[in-house]
Chain A
Amino acid sequence: MAKPMDQITWQELETGAVVVEVGNSTQYETGSWRSERPVVEKEKCIKCMYCWLYCPEACIHQAEEGHFEADLKYCKGCGICAAECPAKCITMISEEK
């Protein structure tokens, strides 16, 4: 976004509120919504990519060591990855801890 959303005037919007700046949703950091974060036990990960596939935010990527983990800038903490993981290697941990 050229400007934060709460500073854009009505005159600055494109006709029909079309977004011409492609991919600008990456500037919207949904990680702040999270109350729980996924924690991965790397050695238990079987690299099946289920978490990568199921993540509704598409914020899971493969780390250098080979296991998969969520980008906490965008992860909303929904826990779907933990629920779907067949190796049970993802645990949701409260952000308060």
Chain B
Amino acid sequence: MAKVRKGVEVSIAIADAVAQADVDVIAAYPITPQTHIVEHLSEIVADGELDAEFIPVESEHSAMSVCCGSSAVGARTFTSTSSQGLALMSEIFFIAAAMRLPMVMALANRSLSSPLSIWNDHSDVMMVRDAGWIHVFVDNGQETYDNIFCAFRMSEDPEVMLPVAVNLDGFILTHMIEPVMYEDDELIRKYLPPFKMKNALHPDNPVSMGCFGMPEIYTEAQMNREMGVRNSYPHIIRAWDEWGRLTGRHYRPVETYRADDAEYCIVTMGSYGETAMEVVDTLREQGEKVGVIKIRLWRPFPLEEFRKAALGKKHLIVLDRAISFGTRGGPVATELRSALYGRPGAPSVVNYVAGLAGRDVSRKDFTNIILQGKQKAASGDTEGFTLYGLRG
């Protein structure tokens, strides 16, 4: 494929990116709203446009098991899922990270049952946030397309060797038709070297993976894993920097918009970042000194970059897309509060949870959240969270 700007459904752009990345194995089970990604990939493989194994498994548990097997032998591996599918594969999802098996997942974020819902929020990814995967969040179609390649580069880096999830909001992104700049195959080949699995399963060089761990060794194995995730950070930056150098599109673990001189900021993760930026433009015209902080890299958590963006601000208004039941906070706000605790210049944190199961959060709602949030922060009302738009 030559470099071309296309109007394309984001799900199709993901499938096309996976094909351009020349994957060897795709194992996935269709689930709303990820379906188009997998359907289109199965067509690409069936039409002979991509020389890969498309393995139509009987469940997500099997999908992730197949991915572990294919990664273990050194095959470039892709999967995609959502919500209940992620829940069903969660057993193997953790194992993929623990066994340091490189693979890329497009995770079309969707709420968890019950009540049963097919729409978008972040309750599915928050269930597995501590699994040891790298989690990237994207805002739009272009970022999704780009980050499929970046994710393969990060995942298969010999210094990283971790599975990577590219989190994109279900429907809001998966089913949207957007202009996406496709890159030339030659550029992709240059950016993505062939995958060489360390200690790959092969009869000539037998190894044992996923062994039993007695109490004498389990603690050491967990620390080895923790350091693996922590140490992936500079290599994630390198993957993004190299992509930026080749394409002119740059990514950072924490990105800011009109935040440098802002007195307070709204913090978002995922596609709401775009609405937030528009609303901030309008509010700036009205004299509000407000900016946006976007968390792009959720794991490993970019502690230093986040602090750099946040310290010195008066308030942060954190928009969560999930509830961590019983903790009186959304998962993002809880973590940011912890990152700021006891730091000189730490802003006060007001937490809103909004847009659960696809309930629309309009520009007007964003304006309300920002202005009400500022008032709450100024009056010291920073405990817990507010469920925005809740009746009763």
Which residues from chain B sit less than 8 Å from chain A, CB to CB?
A: 98-101, 161, 198-199, 206-209, 211, 213-214, 216-217, 219-221, 223-225, 227-228
Contact = CB atoms under 8 A, between A and B. Distances in A.
Given A5-B217, A18-B100, A20-B207, 8 more contacts: A10-B219, A14-B199, A16-B99, A16-B209, A17-B213, A17-B225, A19-B211, A22-B207
A9 interface: yes
A13 B225 CA distance: 10
Nearest to B101: A16
Contacts of A19: 207-209, 211
Interface string A1-40: 0000110111101111111101000000000000000000
Contacts of A9: 220
Interface of A: 5-6, 8-11, 13-20, 22
B232 to A, nearest CB: 12
Contacts of B223: 10
A18 to B, nearest CB: 5
Nearest to B95: A16
Given A5-B214, A22-B208, A17 B199 contact: no
B199 A18 contact: yes
Contacts of B98: 16-17
A2 to B, nearest CB: 13
A18 B209 contact: yes
Contacts of B100: 15-16, 18
Contacts of B217: 5-6, 8, 13, 17
B221 to A, nearest CB: 4
Contacts of B161: 15-16
A11 B207 CA distance: 19
A16 B216 CA distance: 17
B221 A10 contact: yes
Given A9-B220, A10-B220, A10-B224, A15 B199 contact: yes
Q: Which 9 A-B residue pairs are closest in the complex by CB-CB distance?
A: A16-B100, A10-B223, A19-B208, A10-B220, A6-B216, A16-B99, A17-B221, A13-B224, A10-B224
B222 to A, nearest CB: 8
B206 A22 contact: yes
A83 B96 CA distance: 39
Contacts of A15: 100, 161, 198-199, 224, 228
A18 B210 CA distance: 7
Contacts of B214: 5
B220 A13 contact: yes
B107 to A, nearest CB: 22
A8 B223 CA distance: 12
B94 to A, nearest CB: 13
Contact of A8 (B199, B220, B225): B220
9 contacts: A5-B214, A9-B220, A10-B223, A10-B224, A16-B98, A16-B101, A16-B161, A18-B207, A18-B208
A58 B207 CA distance: 20
A8 B100 CA distance: 19
Contact of B227 (A10, A14, A20): A10
Nearest to B198: A15
Contacts of A5: 214, 216-217
Interface centre among B198, B208, B211 (most CB of A within 10 A): B208
